[in-house]
Amino acid sequence: MRKRTIALLAFAGLAVGVVGFFFVAPGVVEAGRNKIEPVGPIISEAGRGFQDTIDLHADTLLWDRDLLGTVARGHVDLTRLRQGGVALQVFASVTNSPAGMNVERNETAQFDMIMPLVIAQRQSPRTWSSTLERALFHAQKLEDAAARSDGRLRVLRSPEDIERLFADRNANAQAECGDPGAGDCLRWPVGGMLALEGLQVLEGEIDNIDRLHAAGYIMAGLAHFIDNPFSGSMHGASRAGLSESGRAAVARMEELGMIVDLAHASPQAIDDVLAMARRPVVSSHGGVRGTCPNNRNLSDEQVRGIAATGGIVGIGYWPTAVCGLTVEAIVRALLHVRDVAGIDHVALGSDFDGAVTVGFDAASVQAIATALIEAGLSPEDIAKIMGGNARRVLSEGIRPL
Ligand SMILES: [Zn+2]
């Protein structure tokens, strides 16, 4: 009898644990990782007029949350993008994240924390151990959200898609509000584009670039927090540059019209790419050592190298990138890139939902435009930073050679 009671209690405990793991844990984990410590972002009427913002990096697809939903977790969803005047969000696919992840040094053998997350999130077993399957799942997730969005969210793959997005946003604003420049006129639709965070996703097979491009990916970082057979990471153990297969991967990406993203790449890999790039490259999210000196951020020389390809540097909003949470800290980094490389090479790359703490979410991005007005920049220059430069590079970079 006692044995049966103990067995029943053990079973009940296990059931509670299983339910907690699959239905409660994913939300709790996300709420603990993607935090906001509000900095009271100020948005002026003129700041709100900037409605064509492009952000180069958010990790929203990693988490168990509907982009169209109203769960007030994390930093990005369709409602908040629209409120913040974000026309186009690049959604990155995170497929590996080492336990104890840090910006200085991670061993390739470190346990991958994405595995328990995808199991807890009840993703298909195909995604449990395959980085490639995780990326294909993320692409499908964005496509599904767009299909359910009643035309409010679109997945963009070509320069023509980008042009059509901005034309339609303008036409819709005109139809709905009369004055399309009015700050209180929320525009739609919102565009989404897909990017890969690290070539570990290829699982060693260069042909998988074509497969992922066909699935909608238009940009790829070389490495994430660990080294992979194609490239060293800035947080890896080897500090290696591009391998032979890494060079072949970069060349194939350029042919297809996939933009090379230098965020997280080792300094040697950055030099290797800059030496061979035939097309504009980006650093999608991060900071600059000129305002925030650490191993995660770009030197002035690297910023100039990216600019020399015609590319852009996307500034992130979290403390490791800009040494603070405030809008002013972000603006300092943006203006440093301008001073070092010129206004045409400055862009936004929040790293929203990237397991980072930020001072505001996607609904308040126009606080940056507001601060740039305060800093005395012209409307033309502000428009370039908020999205104009990114629009140029995305349109140019995704056209097949
Ligand atoms: Zn990242």
Q: Residue 371: give the domain boundaries.
A: 36-397
| Residue of 55, 47, 45 lying closest to 390 (CA atoms) | 55
Number of neighbouring beta carbons within 10 Å of residue 340: 20
Gyration radius of the chain's alpha carbons: 21
Mark whether 113 and 153 lie in a shared domain. yes
Rounded to the nearest angstrom, the distance between the alpha carbon of 175 and the centre of ligand 1 is: 38
Rounded to the nearest angstrom, the distance between the alpha carbon of 63 and the centre of ligand 1 is: 15
Split at pLDDT 50, 70, 90, the class of 124 is confident
Cα 262 to Cα 220: distance, rounded to the nearest angstrom = 9
Query: What's the structural domain count of the chain?
Result: 2
DSSP H or E stretch at residue 53:
strand 53-58
Rounded to the nearest angstrom, the distance between the alpha carbon of 377 and the centre of ligand 1 is: 29
Cα 85 to Cα 366: distance, rounded to the nearest angstrom = 7
| Residue of 232, 306, 316, 239 lying closest to 274 (CA atoms) | 306
Q: Which two tokens stand for residue 340?
A: 């070092």
Q: Is 283 helix (H, G, I), strand (E, B) or coil?
A: strand
Cα 85 to Cα 364: distance, rounded to the nearest angstrom = 9
Q: Is 118 helix (H, G, I), strand (E, B) or coil?
A: helix
Ranges of H-type helices in 36-129: 45-48, 78-83, 114-120, 126-129
User: What is the chain's mean pLDDT, rounded?
Assistant: 92
DSSP H or E stretch at residue 220:
strand 217-221
Cβ(238)–Cβ(245) below 8 Å: no
The stretch 5-34 carries a mean pLDDT of 71
Predicted confidence at residue 15, as pLDDT, reads 64
Mark whether 13 and 45 lie in a shared domain. no
| Residue of 182, 173, 177 lying closest to 49 (CA atoms) | 182
**N-to-C CA span, the chain:** 75
The DSSP output letter for 69 is S
pLDDT, tens digit (0-9, with 9 covering 90-100), for 300-343? 999 999 999 999 999 999 999 999 999 999 999 999 999 999 99
Q: Lowest mean pLDDT: which of 287-291, 325-329, 353-357?
A: 353-357
Mark whether 78 and 26 lie in a shared domain. no
Cα 149 to Cα 144: distance, rounded to the nearest angstrom = 9
Q: Beta partners for 194?
A: 91, 217
Predicted confidence at residue 22, as pLDDT, reads 63
Cα 357 to Cα 367: distance, rounded to the nearest angstrom = 17
Backbone φ and ψ of 234, nearest 5°: -70, -10
Instruction: Provide the CATH number for the domain around residue 256.
Output: 3.20.20.140
Mark whether 16 and 131 lie in a shared domain. no
Q: Is 112 helix (H, G, I), strand (E, B) or coil?
A: strand
Q: Is 92 helix (H, G, I), strand (E, B) or coil?
A: strand
Rounded to the nearest angstrom, the distance between the alpha carbon of 151 and the centre of ligand 1 is: 29
Mark whether 130 and 99 lie in a shared domain. yes
Rounded to the nearest angstrom, the distance between the alpha carbon of 337 and the centre of ligand 1 is: 19
Rounded to the nearest angstrom, the distance between the alpha carbon of 290 and the centre of ligand 1 is: 20
The stretch 114-124 carries a mean pLDDT of 82
Q: Which two tokens stand for residue 129?
A: 């151990």
Mark whether 21 and 122 lie in a shared domain. no
Q: How many CA atoms lie within 13 A of 113 on its CB side?
A: 16
Mark whether 187 and 291 lie in a shared domain. yes
Mark whether 14 and 89 lie in a shared domain. no
Predicted confidence at residue 18, as pLDDT, reads 65
Predicted confidence at residue 16, as pLDDT, reads 62
Dihedral through CA 183, CA 67, CA 354, CA 50, nearest 10?
-10
Mark whether 351 and 285 lie in a shared domain. yes
Say whether pLDDT at 162 is over 60: yes
Rounded to the nearest angstrom, the distance between the alpha carbon of 17 and the centre of ligand 1 is: 31
Cα→Cα distances 144→92, 121, 151, 324, Å = 16, 17, 12, 36
Q: Which pTM value belongs to this model?
A: 0.93
Rounded to the nearest angstrom, the distance between the alpha carbon of 82 and the centre of ligand 1 is: 23
Rounded to the nearest angstrom, the distance between the alpha carbon of 285 and the centre of ligand 1 is: 7
67-91 burial, b for 16+ CB within 10 Å, e for fewer? bbeeeeebbbbbbbbbbbbbbbbbb
Mark whether 21 and 149 lie in a shared domain. no
Ranges of H-type helices in 20-89: 25-33, 45-48, 78-83
Rounded to the nearest angstrom, the distance between the alpha carbon of 264 and the centre of ligand 1 is: 7
Split at pLDDT 50, 70, 90, the class of 264 is very high
Q: Which two tokens stand for residue 240?
A: 């290696």
Mark whether 5 and 114 lie in a shared domain. no
Mark whether 153 and 254 lie in a shared domain. yes
The stretch 5-22 carries a mean pLDDT of 67
